[in-house]
Structure 1
Amino acid sequence: MSSVPVTYGEASITPRGDYAHCDADYTCAQPWARYTPQEHALFARLYARQMALVPGRACEEFVRALPHLRAQRGIPRFDDINVRLKPATGWEVVAVPGLIPESAFFGLLAARRFPVTVWLRRPEEFDYIVEPDLFHDLFGHVPLLFEPRFADYMQAFGAGGLKAQGQHALQYLARLYWYTVEFGLIRSDQGLRIYGAGILSSGGEVAHSLHSPQARRVRFDLPRLLRSRYRIDTFQATYFIIDSFQQLFDATAPDFTPLYAQAAVQPEIEAGMLLPREVDETVGRETG
């Protein structure tokens, strides 16, 4: 199993992880007793670094939920998190060996079960890792599952993914996940804030997403987003901004079938490109 390439974003990756002992839905037991003191220490270092970066940059809902992880001293037990998470929104964290096929991933989300990778990056990967690991999944994704509207969005995304598999539309759904769940920005009364897990778990992309002059930050537009390509090997060139989690849920609740058909006959948009008369929100100027 571990040699089978899995689609992640717009790339194919040969995943790490031991898939020999997982169940049919790719879940497995969290091997908490096998984590070494060095792994706990590495997780604590990653946690401390991000905790120094996210205040004033992450959305309020994320910051408010972080204490539920209780992860300051090392890797928490998933069962302990579920004691707090399940009563809050009906979600639970489940362990998986690593990247899993889309069908399994969507099925777990639709059942309000969020898959978290059990292996942790190596010390030499402290600053950057291509494939999502335990720290990315747990720190980046799990806190917002305590936010009811976002939790509902994630379940709806899973249900939509199961449907999209029969419509040859997975590339469009992957872009939606990438530009919202992984790399989304949200407006607040205090300015732009981050809610995307790929940013929140990164040492460098937190500042890049909000302040880099090389990045484009545009208003959330679902048809435009579905046509927008991205890269997984560098900081993002384009970020989409939502006004609220309610807006995100409302925009993605209807049947996507017409949007898939529309995107299929229109040209793709390269990462970092602004369309004619499109506004870069951090500059406030139209282009074209």
Structure 2
Amino acid sequence: MQKTMIQQNYEAYQAEDQAVWQLLFKRQWENLQDKAVAELWPSLKAAQPSLNGQEIPNFKQLSPLLQKEQNFSIELVPGLIPVEAFFALLAQRRFPSSTWLRKMEELDYLEEPDMFHDTFGHIPLLFNAQYANFMQEFGRIGLQVAHLPQAVAALERLYWFTIEFGVCQNAQGQKIYGAGILSSFGESIQVHKGQNCEFRPFVLESVLKHHFNKHEMQSVYYCLDDFQSLFGLLKEVEQRLLTLA
């Protein structure tokens, strides 16, 4: 697969962009203290000083750090990319990230993911070895079934209800690991309070069949018992999807 050759023009970021980043980072850092899975915090610490609340991350610093820690790199893309290209990047231990940042008037609603979603929501957990390996394996399976529309749709649902909107639930309540919630002030509060949503046990068959809506906060979350449970899913997923061939 050819590299996208997108570059981050760091000098193009304006003072407002830096202010937006600082506000978003500080707000979520404080907000998630009692809401995120414990594994997030050592991962965020490992990403510093290249990922912090003082300034927009420079991918020329952040990507080599991730490469050094987990042999994963960051591939800069203009926005959403075709699903097969996404699978290919993950299989090569390359995570796609945009370089544009929302405006001050868009703090809490976006039509598509920006770099705060990509970098604050996704990249920290890539500093976790098991999570990074999971992502690579997800990409490998995706490439294997990319010619099967039904299998691709099932994988997209798995990704949605784990990597994007994943929640763990135990006696202490709900803990967030999905990037779409980690990067959202409103949705992280919704999950923490259990308002306007339903928490269901994580049943793989149900997840693979559940249609989702990209344009509103989720009304249903599938909950794992703990973060470690995520890493045992893909063997069964692969077996199920290959039966569709």
Q: 1:129 to 1:106 in 2, by over 3 A?
A: same
- Whether 1:108 aligns to 2:89 is yes
Match of 2:191 in 1: 209
**Pairwise CA RMSD:** 2.1
Which residue of 209, 212, 215 corresponds with 1:227?
209
Matched ranges for 1:83-94 at <5 A: 83-94=64-75
Matched ranges for 1:1-288 at <5 A: 24-67=2-45, 68-69=47-48, 70-168=51-149, 169-187=151-169, 190-254=172-236, 256=238, 258-259=240-241
Higher Cα Rg: structure 1 or 2?
Answer: 1
Instruction: For 2:153, give the aligned amino acid.
Output: Q
Following TM superposition, by how much is the alpha carbon of 1:135 offset from its aligned partner in structure 2, in angstroms? 0.7
Helix, strand or coil at the partner of 1:94: strand
d(CA) in 1 for partners of 2:194 and 2:172? 18
**TM-score (norm. length: structure 2):** 0.90
d(CA) in 1 for partners of 2:25 and 2:94? 23
Is contact 1:223–1:259 with CA below 8 Å preserved after alignment?
no
Helix, strand or coil at the partner of 2:147: helix
Question: Normalized per residue, which structure has more helix?
Answer: 2
Helix, strand or coil at the partner of 2:221: strand
d(CA) in 1 for partners of 2:171 and 2:134? 22
Following TM superposition, by how much is the alpha carbon of 1:114 offset from its aligned partner in structure 2, in angstroms? 0.7
Cα deviation digits, residues 156-184 of structure 1 (max 9, x gap): 11111112211222211111110000000
d(CA) in 2 for partners of 1:110 and 1:82? 17
Q: Report 1 or 2 for greater relative contact order, CA contacts < 8 Å, sequence distance ≥ 6.
A: 2
Cα deviation digits, residues 28-80 of structure 1 (max 9, x gap): 22221221222111111111111121001011111222232432112111121
**What percentage of residue pairs aligned between the two structures are identical?**
38
Cα deviation digits, residues 78-99 of structure 1 (max 9, x gap): 1212343223221112211111
Is contact 1:26–1:104 with CA below 8 Å preserved after alignment?
no
Cα deviation digits, residues 191-246 of structure 1 (max 9, x gap): 42100000010010001123234211112111110011111121111111113444
Structure 2 unaligned regions, length at least 5: none
**TM-score (norm. length: structure 1):** 0.77
Aligned residues: 241
Cα deviation digits, residues 83-135 of structure 1 (max 9, x gap): 43223221112211111111211111111111110111122211111200011
